[in-house]
């Protein structure tokens, strides 16, 4: 569960799904741009960093290793937002990427003092985003909520987080996403 639903995979796939659902092939193109900058490049940095010894593992389990990576990811997400706005991407695509900034703005400072779960934050935010754009939002929220709970459970079982850290991550991601969508879309 933790590997399959790691934040980088969700960050790379969510913009593709949102773009395609809301704008067809053109949206898929916007999704590729967002996925590459917000997930693809960070994934390359993470895997390269593990090989070079910068990070202990690709989940960046050691909190002290997170700040520089978070700063790089924030810069890449800001670039993605700038490009989407400059090239007049659909508002929902811009919101999809701004949500990443909003989630980082909430979870980033917390992780400096307490190991809040990025896994559940990103997963819960993605569920809220998908419920916003897909038909049957109740079904999406129910099924997605169950999946987020399983991800949180897996993070606790492997002792990477406490139940409180996974619950706080899920709440932070869901609220940041909902608030961003309420303002931008």
Q: Report the alpha-carbon distance of residue 99 to residue 77 in Å, rounded.
A: 10
Contact 96, 14 (CB under 8 A): yes
This prediction's pTM:
0.91
Over the chain, what is the mean pLDDT? 94
**DSSP code string of 37-64:** IIIIHHHHHHHHHHHHTSSSSTT--SGG
Q: Where are the domains of the chain?
A: 7-184
Give per-residue pLDDT as tens, 49-103: 999 988 888 777 777 777 788 888 899 999 999 999 999 999 999 999 999 999 9
């Amino acid at each position: 569960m933790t590997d399959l639903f790691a934040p980088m995979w969700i960050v790379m796939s969510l913009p593709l799904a949102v773009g395609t659902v809301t704008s067809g092939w053109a949206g898929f193109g916007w999704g590729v741009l967002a996925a590459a900058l917000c997930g693809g490049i960070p994934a390359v940095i993470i895997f390269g960093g593990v090989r070079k010894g910068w990070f202990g593992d690709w989940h960046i389990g050691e909190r002290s290793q997170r700040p520089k990576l978070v700063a790089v990811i924030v810069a890449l997400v800001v670039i993605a937002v700038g490009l989407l706005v400059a090239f007049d991407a659909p508002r929902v695509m811009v919101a999809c990427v701004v949500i990443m900034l909003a989630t980082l703005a909430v979870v980033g400072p917390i992780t400096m003092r307490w190991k809040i779960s990025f896994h559940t934050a990103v997963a819960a935010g993605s569920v809220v985003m998908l419920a916003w754009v897909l038909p049957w939002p109740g079904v999406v929220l129910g099924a997605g909520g169950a999946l987020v709970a399983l991800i949180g459970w897996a993070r606790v079982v492997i002792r990477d987080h406490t139940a409180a850290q996974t619950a706080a991550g899920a709440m932070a991601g869901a609220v940041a996403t909902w608030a961003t969508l309420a303002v931008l879309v």
